[in-house]
Amino acid sequence: MRFLYSTLFYCLMPFILLRMQIRARRAPAYRQRLLERFGIFKGADQFQVNPAIWVHAVSVGETIAAVPVIEALLENYPQHRLIVTTTTPTGSERVQALFGDRVFHVYAPWDLPGAVQRFLRRIKPELLLLMETELWPNMLHYAKRADCQIVLANARLSARSARGYGRVRRLSNAMMRQLDSVACQSREDGDRFLALGLRPEKLTITGSIKFDLELSPDLRKQAHQLRASWRAGERSIVVAASTHPGEDEQILDAFKQVRRSIDDCVLVLVPRHPERFDAVYSLCVAQGWRVQRRSSGHSPGPGDDVIVGDTMGELLLLMSVATIAVIGGSLVEHGGHNVLEAAAWGVPVVTGPHMFNFGEISALLTDAGAMIKLSQATDLGSCLSRLLADSSRRQLMGDAGQRVVTNNRGARARLLTQIATRIKPGC
């Protein structure tokens, strides 16, 4: 089955390269460093003498979630060299900004037998730590053949994804056999992995490491300064985070409804992908809003309506000024994004109906009264208007969200315990 998969991957390579070039029209970084995706890169000589831990995080969300784990690995295993790979330019930018030369960073190889084997020969990892649900047949097969321990960390598997894996059951079963340990976010996620063929003794329910989010003193200081400059205590600010195509229009329509009753309200619209920054800015201007770019450095003035969040790595900071947070990826069928960055600041959360990628976390926040999950996206405007007019309810929701975050910490420590059992004694 893996042979057929690999053959198909090779056949699709011309189309994959064409897609990369098309994406590069809006995000030039997609045409850069292409050799890394074939397992060809410089600077791997150090791995001939130092044992290596390979951490793979697909993009920005997984990278941010991995930060406390990577920091702990750097502290606990100073004799190891950490390799951190991503697949997207935005994830790459975050790794380099957060860790600099403390880790070795390249793009992960495409899941071609030759590319994966070249990569593994260069870095010789003792442990492969995969963030969330990044399962690639050749990556797992050749890592295991190279005597590398494989841990799937902060694992989640939605019902829809499980159905997709179930359609290629032989391939899925083979991948489950390659995994040495799966640290799942919830029992429901774990049951889906078991149904795909994971052996029960390999499964641990650790909870989500996203609950271990730290609001550092430096970040809190920045947040205090930003709130003051944006007059966050005097006006309402709605932060719409990580939006996807098709959502910006819905959010702007909802904002029009809000402004009918609350005219001193600002919308912060943060697209998920940087190649959409210009398009979202143009959309807001075309609709007649007075728009600022976050990258301009200017604070919103009395006449400003919308701030386009066109900077990288600032979403957690921007959440600190929010009166209400709307989570993108949930108004369209993408599956939602991390709601805990808002909850950690004590910000009430509103999402659309599509939160299947964060089902357990969403249920915890909803049951605690910290989050409103709309049954239909068209209710967004009326929901925001009611919440903005009810400060008491917002306070209760914010307090409940912070309690949920506090009460569910500890997944990182449980994951690190799992990792420790996979590192060879004496290393």
341 catalytically annotated: no
Any domain includes 425: no
* Residues 414 and 350 occupy one common structural domain: no
Q: Report which DSSP code applies to 320.
A: T
Any domain includes 212: no
User: How many domains are contained in the chain?
Assistant: 2
Any domain includes 276: yes
* Residues 222 and 90 occupy one common structural domain: no
Task: Find the farthest-apart pair of alpha carbons in the chain and give their distance in angstroms, rounded.
Answer: 66
Residue 213 CB burial class (10 angstroms; 0-12, 13-18, ≥19): buried
* Residues 131 and 276 occupy one common structural domain: no
Residue 115 CA to residue 108 CA, distance in Å, equals 9
* Residues 198 and 309 occupy one common structural domain: no
* Residues 53 and 153 occupy one common structural domain: yes
The reported pTM is 0.87
DSSP string, 165-221: HHTTHHHHHHHHHH-SEEEESSHHHHHHHHHTT--GGGEEE---GGGG----HHHHH
- pLDDT for 80 equals 92
Residue 160 CB burial class (10 angstroms; 0-12, 13-18, ≥19): exposed
* Residues 416 and 358 occupy one common structural domain: no
Whether the Cβ atoms of residue 332 and residue 243 lie closer than 8 Å to each other: no
Reported in sequence order, the residue ranges of 224-382 that DSSP labels E, i.e. its strands, are 236-243, 265-271, 291-293, 306-308, 324-327, 349-351, 371-373
Domain that holds residue 339: 217-407
Judged by DSSP in three states, 106 sits in strand
The single residue listed with the structure tokens 């994804």 is 161
* Residues 134 and 13 occupy one common structural domain: yes
**Closest residue by Cα to residue 412 from 228, 153, 159, 191:** 153
- pLDDT for 46 equals 64
Please, which residues have CB within 8 angstroms of residue 78's CB and are 6 or more apart in sequence? none
CA 185 to chain centre: 14
Any domain includes 34: yes
* Residues 232 and 199 occupy one common structural domain: no
* Residues 374 and 396 occupy one common structural domain: yes
Alpha-carbon distances of 424 from 69, 122, 151, 203, rounded to whole Å: 19, 20, 14, 20
* Per-residue pLDDT tens digits of the chain, which is 427 residues long: 899 999 999 999 999 999 999 988 888 889 899 999 999 998 877 666 678 999 999 888 889 889 999 999 999 999 999 999 999 999 999 999 999 999 999 999 999 999 999 999 999 999 999 998 889 999 999 999 999 999 999 999 989 899 999 999 999 999 999 999 999 999 999 999 999 999 999 999 999 999 998 899 999 999 999 999 999 989 999 999 999 999 999 999 999 999 999 988 999 999 999 999 999 999 999 999 999 999 999 999 888 999 999 998 899 999 999 999 999 999 999 999 999 999 999 999 999 999 998 988 999 999 999 999 999 999 999 999 999 999 999 999 999 999 999 999 999 999 999 999 998 755 4
Judged by DSSP in three states, 19 sits in helix
**Closest residue by Cα to residue 272 from 306, 314, 241:** 241
Whether the Cβ atoms of residue 342 and residue 322 lie closer than 8 Å to each other: yes
Read off the CATH number of the domain in which 352 is found.
3.40.50.2000
Q: Which of 36, 62, 247, 341 is labelled catalytic? A: 62
Any domain includes 320: yes
Buried b (16+ CB within 10 A) or exposed e, 312-340: eeebbbbbbbbbbbbbbbbbbebbbbbbb
Read off the CATH number of the domain in which 35 is found.
3.40.50.11720
- pLDDT for 47 equals 64
- pLDDT for 337 equals 94
- pLDDT for 309 equals 97
* Residues 127 and 265 occupy one common structural domain: no
- pLDDT for 60 equals 87
- Amino acid making up residue 24: A
Any domain includes 238: yes
* Residues 171 and 262 occupy one common structural domain: no
Any domain includes 197: yes
Any domain includes 234: yes
Reported in sequence order, the residue ranges of 19-145 that DSSP labels E, i.e. its strands, are 52-56, 81-86, 104-107, 125-131
**Closest residue by Cα to residue 281 from 236, 272, 290:** 290
Q: What angle do CA 128, 13, 171 make, to 5 degrees?
A: 50
* Residues 268 and 337 occupy one common structural domain: yes
